[in-house]
Amino acid sequence: MTITANWSYPTAIKFGAGRIKELADHCKALGIKKPLLITDRGLAPMPITQNALDILDAAGLGRALFADVDSNPTDVNLAAGVKAFKEGGHDGVIAFGGGSGLDLGKCVAFMAGQTRPVWDFEDIGDWWTRASVEGIAPIIAVPTTAGTGSEVGRASVITNSETHTKKVIFHPKFLPAVTICDPELTVGMPKVITAGTGMDAFAHCLEAYCSPFYHPMSAGIALEGLRLVKEYLPRAYKDGTDIEARAHMMSAAAMGAVAFQKGLGAIHSLSHPVGAIYNTHHGMTNAVVMPPVLRFNRPAIEDKIGMAAAYLGISGGFDGFYDYVLKLREELGVPDKLSALGVGTDRIDEMAAMAIVDPTAGGNPVELTLEAAKQLFRDCI
């Protein structure tokens, strides 16, 4: 089997090793003549980024780069990105990188066409209909990690730099017109990022699968995503050049994000305030809080997890699955407690208050009350 394919779900996905070389062709097909490549600071000088710029340059599309992007991108990064986009006379965005580059890139393309502040487009009710669709620039997404799944998503997470809260900004036009999934771009990922991003994909599949909302299509995708992570994340972690494992992890990441339209849950509700306050790695934070959340949700998900365990070839139902998660974490060097990520107990009340109003809290199978969130944070720290 060759792991190369063109998919049209949920957007056009050009999947396969080496396919970054098609970048300029896709710009041209979308009518983009002056793209702005947006990525984070760390990735900007890397050979994969420079190679992408070379491909654009060679096709006469310039090599414009905006990389003033924090690991948890903020409204300040966003304003600077929109300014760079407008001043440079750009007509399309290449959102390049992990969650930060992808989310900020998508949001810049969107905000380039808006006059209202970004917070007016938070993912609440029909707020997205406030947007003016005309000026939104076309987006090509190029993921360089395998976790966030933002390359197939219709939202970006932007941190409010004043309140230190993470907000989900939503519009259907955030969905990239084309996504290039080239697993070769993920080969250089350090082990800790492979682990963290991979566990984010796992958390997306797990929480989507467990959420109580009716969406059997997403449940099916989540289940197969879990299987891909189980089979290939340890391999990708052990040998970063294992391109087959890298490819399947890239699929699992996209699948996790497709699946989580069914909902997320308390893993993400706890992880978001921790990330916003302590700037921890999102996926790694998810991995740390996963076992306490599984225990908390057990009464509501025991049967479901039993079915998933059977599909994954794990014996012992819920307990077997729980032990598997602990073992997987250990194998990937995930710390047992949030304290190892620098999180103290002094801000539990504040974080719990943020967790219960996080948009993901509503998808948790057991109601996440303030008391429950405080107790979960105590368990996790």
- List residues binding Fe ion (CB under 5 A): 200
C-beta contacts of 329-332 below 8 A and 24+ residues apart: 329/199, 329/287, 329/288, 329/290, 329/291, 331/234, 331/237, 332/195, 332/198, 332/199, 332/233, 332/234, 332/237, 332/287
What three-state secondary structure class fits 374?
A: helix
Minimum CB distance to Fe ion, residue 92 (Å): 26
Minimum CB distance to Fe ion, residue 285 (Å): 9
What three-state secondary structure class fits 184?
A: helix
Nearer to Fe ion, 131 or 355 (CB): 355
What are residue 156's DSSP bridge partners? 169
Q: Which residues of 281-316 are buried (b: 16+ CB within 10 A; e: fewer)?
A: bbbbbbbbbbbbbbebbeeebeebbbebbeebebee
Phi, psi values for residue 150, rounded to 5° = -60, -20
Minimum CB distance to Fe ion, residue 273 (Å): 14
Tokens of 153: 């998503």
Nearer to Fe ion, 103 or 200 (CB): 200
Residue corresponding to tokens 């801000």: 347
Q: Which residues contact 353 (CB under 8 A, 6 or more apart)?
A: 370, 373
Nearer to Fe ion, 16 or 291 (CB): 291
What three-state secondary structure class fits 261?
A: helix
Minimum CB distance to Fe ion, residue 284 (Å): 11
Nearer to Fe ion, 17 or 267 (CB): 267
Q: How many residues does the chain have?
A: 381
Nearer to Fe ion, 16 or 99 (CB): 99
Gap between the Cα atoms of 379 and 358, Å rounded: 19
Residue corresponding to tokens 């079915």: 307
Nearer to Fe ion, 247 or 287 (CB): 287
CA angle 82/56/89 to nearest 5° reads: 30
Tokens of 91: 């007509």
Minimum CB distance to Fe ion, residue 152 (Å): 13
Please answer whether residues 224 and 247 qualify as being in contact, where contact means their C-beta atoms are separated by less than 8 angstroms: no
Minimum CB distance to Fe ion, residue 263 (Å): 13
Minimum CB distance to Fe ion, residue 196 (Å): 10
Minimum CB distance to Fe ion, residue 254 (Å): 13
Please answer whether residues 53 and 65 qualify as being in contact, where contact means their C-beta atoms are separated by less than 8 angstroms: yes
Nearer to Fe ion, 289 or 308 (CB): 289
Nearer to Fe ion, 184 or 200 (CB): 200
First vs last Cα of the chain: how many Å apart? 44
Question: Which residue's Cβ has the minimum distance to Fe ion?
Answer: 200
Nearer to Fe ion, 40 or 200 (CB): 200
Minimum CB distance to Fe ion, residue 282 (Å): 6
Nearer to Fe ion, 151 or 200 (CB): 200
Minimum CB distance to Fe ion, residue 380 (Å): 16
Gap between the Cα atoms of 200 and 259, Å rounded: 13
